[in-house]
Structure 1
Amino acid sequence: MGLTGPVLVVGTGLLGTSIALAARRAGLDVLLSDVSPEHLRTASGLGAGRPVADGDAPQLVVVATPPDHLGVAIAEALTRYDAVVTDVGSVKSAPLREVSERVGAEALERYVGSHPMAGSERSGPLAASAALFEARPWAVTPHPSSDPGAVELVSALASACGATVVTLPPEEHDRAVARTSHLPHLLAVLVAGRLADAPAAHLSLSGQGVRDVTRVAGSDPALWQQIVASNAPAVLELLSEVRAELDAMITAVSGGSREGLGVLLDRGVAGTQAIPGKHGGPVRATAPVFVSLPDHPGELARLFADAGVIGVNIEDVRIDHDPGRDTGLVELVVAEDSALHLAASLEDRGWVVHG
């Protein structure tokens, strides 16, 4: 079953509009629907597609509504259209249970859940981008009665949007996102919460570390209430594990046990090394090179250009802006065996490199 369209996107927020833009870029006819006339007008104005009309017959329906409304919206799409239906919610088991209670077995065969692992702290159609899914994982989560042709069609949509398809059962998907997305978000929220009423003198010492740890905590609280509630069993299991390790850390710190603290710190290092590396391969040995960056236009481009001339590939980059410094500190992450060469060559070109 080839994907020829039309594709109907129900919900024109960040994900829905981004999918619509990516599908349009792939040459597909896209129809749009949203309970918010303003969102629908905005998405249409961005070129994401045209509002769905009576008589339109989509080949594929993509439900991109908030988590609390997924089950109802999926069931309505299966009932209204003779089409394959997917959704892009971040939890798969709960919507599947609700849909199973609302539609018959024949209609359920046309439903295949999915979840693109891409997003932003921003929301709404104005935050959308056709490039949002490029090279990102897109989980496709067929249930036991999903029609193979429907699975193929949903996978084709993910590929058309530039994503990499990862096929998982719904329950396994929910355990995976609890570990890699939902738990990190909740822990970031707890850390960020310690800053809300902090004295200004404390906050003046903020560096890139606290920004890295708390970045995702700025996401929409109402949305995350829905996400966590719908994946409560998997999230609770992990929170219980963290609570046990937090108790162990409190015991180690209060008792002055460097050995006990070291065990936990070593486990954290092992966790960071378990995250897939560049292009999904094994983690490569890297080293940071810290460079002072004058805070005016063109300097970052000049730094990158010099690194290119030197012949060193930059694996990652971070910029730290301390409140008391009129320059930025750029951390260039490069292959470990290239770090000394890059540092020396940048100094030769007039850059201030920090050890």
Structure 2
Amino acid sequence: MRTVAVVGTGLIGTSAALALTRRGLTVHLEDADPDAARTAASLGAGVTEPAEGPVDLAIVAVPPALVGKVLADCQRRGLARCYTDVASVKAGPRAEVAALGLDTAHYIGGHPMAGRERSGPLAARADLFEGRPWVLTPTPDTDTETLNAALELVALCGAMPIVMDAAAHDRAVALVSHAPQLLSSLVAARLENADETAIRLSGQGVRDVTRIAASSPGMWVDILSANAGVVADILEEVAVDLGETVTALRALQASDEGERRAGAAGIEAVMRRGNTGQSRIPGKHGAPPTRYETVTVVLGDQPGELGRLFGEVGALGVNIEDVTIEHSTGQQVGHVQLAVAAGVVKPLVTGLRERGWAVRD
């Protein structure tokens, strides 16, 4: 594959274009908003000049509701030999493509499981897809050339291909992406009119839960509109759990000891279910989850401090598996939580303290 057209230069389209240009491909950029395409081009994502003939692959990077319309226009123009899209919902666009009578032999649905809270070309990154799953949803009439082109695209972007049925994909993303987005927004919405004193007590827990609540509402309305029924089903199940949890919490305040025990058992049960579910999330490089120990280092708010810390951890021969930074409200310090293998905790703590770092017990 040497030439690609990216139609839609938002976060995903521009990130794919950046990854491809980095690998030496010629990328032609299109967008309904010419300024967005020019912005993407200025970032090094490609050129805005049309291709002289059909490109090897066209990536339709538009909201789910527009995939059919945009694909029809691309095929009418003979833009490419093969086509794919990157919409986060697959069954609806596939049905529309079939209803429009489009060429489905040279089209394959796709969805890279990557994103950010920010949107638009300026939020794009060439490494956005590295190590992330990229779902492909071929139909029985998808030809081998098209599947191979999509697989090559995934490889060039550093992602991991996963072939799925479109409906199964939509059920899966409703559970692991769409419902969590709404739940994060619901928790964050409780903070809208909260007392400032409460807000100042915000720690890493609420930051983790509400991080994706900063996402674009308009973008998510487009996504959820295409998968609303499945997401609603999941939230109904969550609502049942919430109702039972509320009942258990009320029971903890009861005067009857039996009720209090029942309430405690209810809370423990839902938290144990949560432990089990969380433990199933794949760990590093998609491997089974590994339990690491956490070493917390107090970090001053000076330029280069984080890099110096990482350098000294590396000099001690320790690999950092994950990192979280928690900022202290009203203070010029933060707490860096380093996830490391259990066997290296003691020498790491000793080594850092010898080098002058404040390590929390």
Q: TM-score, normalised by structure 1?
A: 0.94
Separation in 2, partners of 1:65, 1:335: 42
Separation in 1, partners of 2:229, 2:200: 39
**Which ranges in structure 1 are unaligned for 5 or more consecutive residues?**
none
Separation in 1, partners of 2:66, 2:286: 33
Could you say if the C-alpha distance between residues 108 and 79 of structure 1 is closer, same or farther in structure 2, counting changes exceeding 3 Å? Answer: farther
Q: Is the 8 A contact 1:78 1:110 kept in 2?
A: no
Deviation at 1:55, TM superposition (A): 4.7
Q: Match of 1:307?
A: 313
Pair 1:235-2:235 in alignment: no
Pair 1:65-2:59 in alignment: no
Q: Match of 1:225?
A: 221
Output aligned runs, 1:27-46, within 5 Å. 27-46=24-43
What letter corresponds to residue 7 of structure 2 in structure 1? V
Deviation at 1:95, TM superposition (A): 0.4
Output aligned runs, 1:97-246, within 5 Å. 97-104=95-102, 107-246=103-242
Pair 1:288-2:285 in alignment: no
Deviation at 1:233, TM superposition (A): 2.5
- Encode CA deviations 1:120-178: one digit per residue, 9 max, x unaligned: 11222122222221222111111222222211111111111111111111111111111
Q: Match of 1:19?
A: 16
Could you say if the C-alpha distance between residues 54 and 17 of structure 1 is closer, same or farther in structure 2, counting changes exceeding 3 Å? Answer: closer
- Encode CA deviations 1:50-95: one digit per residue, 9 max, x unaligned: 2253753122111001233122112222333262111001000010
Deviation at 1:15, TM superposition (A): 1.1
Q: Match of 1:324?
A: 330
Separation in 1, partners of 2:214, 2:185: 8
Q: Secondary structure at the match of 2:88?
A: coil
Output aligned runs, 1:269-280, within 5 Å. 269-280=275-286
What letter corresponds to residue 88 of structure 1 in structure 2? V
Q: Match of 2:345?
A: 339
Deviation at 1:38, TM superposition (A): 0.6
Separation in 2, partners of 1:114, 1:234: 19
Q: Is the 8 A contact 1:287 1:335 kept in 2?
A: yes
- Encode CA deviations 1:269-291: one digit per residue, 9 max, x unaligned: 11111111111111112111111
What letter corresponds to residue 327 of structure 2 in structure 1? H
Q: Secondary structure at the match of 1:59?
A: strand
Separation in 1, partners of 2:174, 2:119: 21
Q: Secondary structure at the match of 2:334?
A: strand
Q: Is the 8 A contact 1:79 1:103 kept in 2?
A: no
| Aligned partner of 1:249 among 232, 242, 245 | 245
Q: Secondary structure at the match of 1:157?
A: helix
Q: Match of 2:94?
A: 96
Separation in 1, partners of 2:239, 2:157: 39
Larger displacement relative to structure 2 (242-251 or 213-222): 242-251
Could you say if the C-alpha distance between residues 95 and 298 of structure 1 is closer, same or farther in structure 2, counting changes exceeding 3 Å? Answer: same
- Encode CA deviations 1:248-301: one digit per residue, 9 max, x unaligned: 111111112111100100111111111111111111121111111111112212
Separation in 1, partners of 2:291, 2:62: 41
What letter corresponds to residue 273 of structure 1 in structure 2? S
Q: Secondary structure at the match of 2:55?
A: coil
Q: Secondary structure at the match of 2:351?
A: helix
Separation in 2, partners of 1:216, 1:353: 30
What letter corresponds to residue 100 of structure 1 in structure 2? A
What letter corresponds to residue 28 of structure 2 in structure 1? L
Separation in 2, partners of 1:301, 1:91: 39
- Encode CA deviations 1:170-202: one digit per residue, 9 max, x unaligned: 111111111111111111000000111111011
Could you say if the C-alpha distance between residues 155 and 264 of structure 1 is closer, same or farther in structure 2, counting changes exceeding 3 Å? Answer: same
What letter corresponds to residue 88 of structure 2 in structure 1? S
Q: Secondary structure at the match of 1:311?
A: coil
Q: Percent identity?
A: 46
Separation in 2, partners of 1:224, 1:65: 13
Deviation at 1:326, TM superposition (A): 2.6
What letter corresponds to residue 264 of structure 1 in structure 2? V
Q: Match of 2:260?
A: none
RMSD, matched Cα: 1.5
Separation in 2, partners of 1:286, 1:128: 31
Deviation at 1:116, TM superposition (A): 0.9
Deviation at 1:5, TM superposition (A): 3.5
Separation in 1, partners of 2:299, 2:353: 13
What letter corresponds to residue 64 of structure 1 in structure 2? A
Separation in 2, partners of 1:100, 1:79: 15
